Structures are given as structure tokens and as C-alpha cells.
């Protein structure tokens, strides 16, 4: 941790401030006009700001544009499922498609963080919010506005980029080149493991009646980046400790029953600190991603915190167990020791 703190530089602080502004201003604006019911959509669109931390300024703009578009499309699919009152099996299909798309997109774009954790989070939380068809245009517009605001801040940051910074090739070429360079065999194993692991955790949480069982699936998605790493078990242990530690921090923070403004402040701080941590140590970043995600999940619902926190602890333990089994089986298939 001492080494981690020593490596924080001025540009990291500036990036954290941009992230805080990107997520904080829309939430505070919605609170001011009495439309906190829309805050979760703005916050999830603003997650685009977390992508591309270590990239050059111009390249980061295109990264956030693609990530923001993906997050908004995920929100739209989840809202459509909720408005249609479709069967739970349809949501399972959407979850599988979301994981496969996020894993492939993250691998081809070489995102940091890779991506599937946030797409799973957005899909399952938004799907759990009851809605009607007539509400979709406004909610989607708010989500798109949150993503666009993040991209705008990245564009403004690009103004000060060095003149000799190379021009990006464009997201289409980048995506095509990244996909062409993938190890297809390894990618298929990672894809299958992530999809089956996330679905298994989600269905087990549903079977156990754990309320809105999104966190078990999110926990598996958070641990999946360790699957293809050479030091897989060390990384998996770090991610597990980060996830469980993050749930513990969330339990402490939310046990004080924060009001709307305090909850927004917690979300802003967690997202800003996670921005600093994510490119250095994903396990440390999860200490802040977890309370960020849990806080966002209850931002517009206002549900009592104790049942939520109990469910999150149980779901985190379930997700970690499923993730370790998934990683073990996946590594055996990959034949990597």
C-alpha cells in the first residue's frame, strides 16, 4: 500500500477530479431538480469515464466513446426487458449475450478495466428497476447524457495533449486489429468460462432467494480477468480480497444510513479513488468499486440498507466460490499451470 501511494502523481489526481466531476455533477443536478429516480441512469452512463486511464488523451476519447455507447445499449436492453415484463429466462439470455459481448469487446480494445463487471452490473440493476415503455426515452437520454458528459470531459482533457501524440487509428480499425490478434482458443475458453460462471452465480443466487441477486454475478465477472494470467491464483486471491474487502467497506459506510447527498458524496469519492487505483492494482480498485456499485444500486430505490448489505455479503461469498471453481476448470482446459 505504501508503494501504491508513493506512485500517485499529479496527473492521477487530475484524472480522479475529472471522474468525480463526471459522476458528481449529473447526480447533484438531478437531486436539485427532484429527479433522483433518474440518477442511476446518469451514474451508469458516467462509468464510461473509468475506461482508458493509462491511455494517451486522444486514444482515451475513443475508448470512452465505445465504452459509453456499450453501457447505454446495455441500459436500453435492461429497460426494455423490464418494460416488457418478459420472463426471467429472457434476462438470462441477455446476461449471457452481455458477458460475451463485453469480454470480446474488452479483449479486442485492450481496456483497463477489461469491462464485463460493469456491463453485468448495469444490466442486472437496471433490469431490477420497474419501468414502463413511456419512461424509456427519458431514462435512455439521461444515461446517454451521463456517458456524453464523460466523453466531453475527455475531449477537453485532450486539448492539452502533447502535439506529437500520435493520432488514433479509429475505433473500428482498433477493434478489428485487436480481434485479429486474439488467441482464438484461449479467448473461447475465457469467453465460455466467464459466461457460464456469471450465469451459474446469478442462477444460484436466484434459487437461494437472495432478493435482487446481481452481486453474485458481478463478483464472478470481477474475478474473471485473473483467468488467463500466468500468476492466476495470486491475482485471483488479490481480486477476491478486494471484492470481499470492498463489501466490508460498503457495510461500514452504509450502516450509517446516509441520506441522498451523503450517498452521492460516497459514490463520487469511491469512483475518483478507483480511477487512481484501477491501472495499478485491480484488487485495490475493487475496494472502492464495490461500495460504488452497491451505492449506485440503491441510489434511486431508497431501500433499507441492512437487508441489502446482508444480501451483498452472502452473494459476494457465493460469487467468489463460483469464480474459483470457474477459474480452476478454465485453467485445466487451457492446460496452463
195-241 confidence digits (pLDDT tens): 999 999 999 999 988 777 888 998 888 888 777 677 777 777 877 88
Percent of the chain with pLDDT over 70: 90
Percent of the chain with pLDDT over 90: 23
All residues at 6 or more sequence positions from 332 whose CB lies less than 8 Å from its CB, including other chains: none
Cβ(148)–Cβ(296) below 8 Å: no
Output the CA–CA distances (angstroms, integers) from residue 274 to 1, 128, 242, 278, 288, in the order listed.
14, 25, 12, 6, 6
- Express each pLDDT in 90-108 by its tens digit: 999 999 999 999 998 888 8
- Express each pLDDT in 167-200 by its tens digit: 767 777 887 877 888 878 888 888 899 999 999 9
Give me the pLDDT at residue 195, please: 94
Give me the pLDDT at residue 336, please: 53
Task: Indicate whether 1 pLDDT > 70.
Answer: no
User: Of 69, 115, 113, 122, which is closest to residue 94 (Cα–Cα)?
Assistant: 122
Task: Indicate whether 4 pLDDT > 60.
Answer: no
- Express each pLDDT in 236-270 by its tens digit: 787 788 888 888 898 888 888 888 888 889 988 88
Rounded CA gap, 216 and 317, in Å? 8
Cβ(33)–Cβ(294) below 8 Å: no
Give me the pLDDT at residue 337, please: 41
Please provide the average confidence, as pLDDT, over all residues in the chain.
83
Rounded to an integer, what is the distance from CA 176 to the centroid of its chain? 23
Over residues 125-129, mean pLDDT: 91
Amino acid at each position: 500500500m505504501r508503494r501504491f501511494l508513493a506512485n500517485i502523481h499529479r496527473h492521477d489526481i487530475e484524472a480522479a477530479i475529472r471522474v468525480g466531476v463526471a459522476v458528481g455533477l449529473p447526480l447533484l443536478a438531478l437531486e436539485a431538480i427532484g429527479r433522483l429516480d433518474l440518477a442511476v441512469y446518469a451514474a451508469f452512463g458516467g462509468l464510461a469515464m473509468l475506461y482508458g486511464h493509462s491511455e494517451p488523451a486522444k486514444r482515451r476519447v475513443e475508448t470512452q466513446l465505445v465504452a459509453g455507447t456499450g453501457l447505454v445499449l446495455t441500459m436500453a436492453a435492461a429497460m426494455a426487458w423490464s418494460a416488457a415484463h418478459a420472463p426471467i429466462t429472457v434476462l438470462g439470455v441477455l446476461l449471457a449475450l452481455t458477458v460475451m459481448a463485453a469480454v470480446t469487446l474488452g479483449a479486442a480494445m485492450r481496456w483497463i478495466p477489461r469491462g464485463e463487471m460493469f456491463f453485468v452490473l448495469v444490466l442486472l440493476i437496471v433490469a431490477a428497476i420497474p419501468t414502463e415503455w413511456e419512461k424509456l426515452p427519458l431514462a435512455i437520454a439521461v444515461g446517454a447524457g451521463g456517458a456524453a458528459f464523460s466523453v466531453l470531459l475527455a475531449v477537453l482533457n485532450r486539448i492539452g495533449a502533447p502535439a506529437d501524440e500520435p493520432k488514433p487509428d479509429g475505433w473500428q480499425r482498433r477493434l478489428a486489429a485487436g480481434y485479429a490478434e486474439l488467441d482464438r482458443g484461449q479467448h473461447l475458453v475465457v469467453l465460455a468460462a466467464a459466461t457460464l460462471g456469471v450465469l451459474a452465480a446469478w442462477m444460484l443466487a436466484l434459487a437461494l432467494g437472495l432478493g435482487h441477486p446481481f452481486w453474485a454475478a458481478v463478483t464472478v465477472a470481477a474475478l474473471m480477468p485473473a483467468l488467463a494470467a500466468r500468476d492466476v491464483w495470486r491475482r485471483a486471491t488479490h481480486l477476491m480480497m478486494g471484492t470481499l474487502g470492498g463489501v466490508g467497506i460498503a457495510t461500514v459506510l452504509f450502516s450509517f444510513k446516509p441520506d441522498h447527498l451523503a450517498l452521492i458524496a460516497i459514490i463520487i469519492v469511491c469512483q475518483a479513488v478507483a480511477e487512481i487505483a484501477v491501472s495499478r492494482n485491480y484488487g485495490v480498485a475493487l475496494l472502492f468499486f464495490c461500495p460504488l456499485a452497491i451505492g449506485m444500486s440503491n441510489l434511486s430505490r431508497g431501500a433499507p440498507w441492512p437487508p441489502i448489505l446482508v444480501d451483498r455479503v452472502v452473494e459476494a461469498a457465493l460469487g467468489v466460490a463460483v469464480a474459483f471453481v470457474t477459474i480452476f476448470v478454465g485453467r485445466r482446459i487451457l492446460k496452463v499451470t
